[in-house]
Amino acid sequence: MKEILNHISEIIIKGKWKEMTDQVNLALENNITAKQILDDGLLKGMEVVGVKFRDGEMFLPEVLMSAKAFKTAMALIEPYFLHGEKISSGKVLMGTVKGDIHDIGKNLVGVMLKGNGFDVADLGIDASTEKFIEWIERENPDIVGLSAMLTTTMVSMQKTVNVLIEKYPNKKIIIGGAPVSPSFADSIKANGYAKNAIDAVELCKKLMYAVA
């Protein structure tokens, strides 16, 4: 059993998503539960991916392939979870702010959050404050993440964050993106800043702990 789960982790780390279906089916045939596959195979693999990414041993293309492997496996095991067995780490709504059309970094954060058991809702790019509000009302996330790639759109970020912290004092508002810094996050009173996808996961875990 351990061997099969290790192999699943390995497929995640190497991003060999085409091999995932066979291995997950093998696991299910051997009566390994969906929860075990998730915890001891998929999430374990994604954790290694996170560390390798942070240390500059893996890059965006490899991480995206790992994400694809993760997604392939999740689609297969989803029906096998028992009721209440799959415990979410929390729900994160994310989007790129008004005027900004960049989403590669944001998507990477989404991938790593999903790979760490978070539910993620993505409202896309060029999102107005109104759009953020509309999605918050619909999705009821614990955490709202705003992304900006351009220095010019940091102003939009500031405007949206101002409105959101006023309107939703119980939600955690976090920011990230190439031009964004901890001092900027402080100055606009965001609840947190992460400089990369790995830090974003850590930040969200910390914030969820604070919420709970």
Q: Which residues sit at the interface with other proteins, rule CB under 8 A?
A: 55-62, 64-65, 98-102, 104, 126, 150-156, 179, 181, 183-184, 187
Beta strand ranges found along 116-155 (DSSP E): 119-122, 143-147
CA nearest 131: which of 150, 154, 156?
A: 156
- In the complex, least distance from residue 124 CB atom to other proteins, rounded to whole angstroms: 12
Q: CA of 88: how far to CAs of 11, 91, 140, 190, in Å?
A: 23, 7, 14, 24
Quick one: 53 or 118, whose CB is closer to other proteins? Answer: 53
- In the complex, least distance from residue 64 CB atom to other proteins, rounded to whole angstroms: 5
- Tell me the C-alpha distance between 40 and 10, whole Å: 11
Quick one: 116 or 156, whose CB is closer to other proteins? Answer: 156
CA diameter of the chain: 54
Contact 109, 200 (CB under 8 A): yes
- Tell me the C-alpha distance between 101 and 86, whole Å: 34
- In the complex, least distance from residue 153 CB atom to other proteins, rounded to whole angstroms: 6
Q: What angle do CA 162, 93, 161 make, to 5 degrees?
A: 5
3-state DSSP helix/strand/coil % of the chain, to nearest 5: 60, 10, 30
Quick one: 40 or 100, whose CB is closer to other proteins? Answer: 100
- In the complex, least distance from residue 169 CB atom to other proteins, rounded to whole angstroms: 23
- Tell me the C-alpha distance between 132 and 74, whole Å: 27
Quick one: 86 or 195, whose CB is closer to other proteins? Answer: 195
3-state secondary structure of 114: helix
Quick one: 126 or 199, whose CB is closer to other proteins? Answer: 126
- In the complex, least distance from residue 118 CB atom to other proteins, rounded to whole angstroms: 22
- In the complex, least distance from residue 56 CB atom to other proteins, rounded to whole angstroms: 3
Quick one: 38 or 120, whose CB is closer to other proteins? Answer: 120
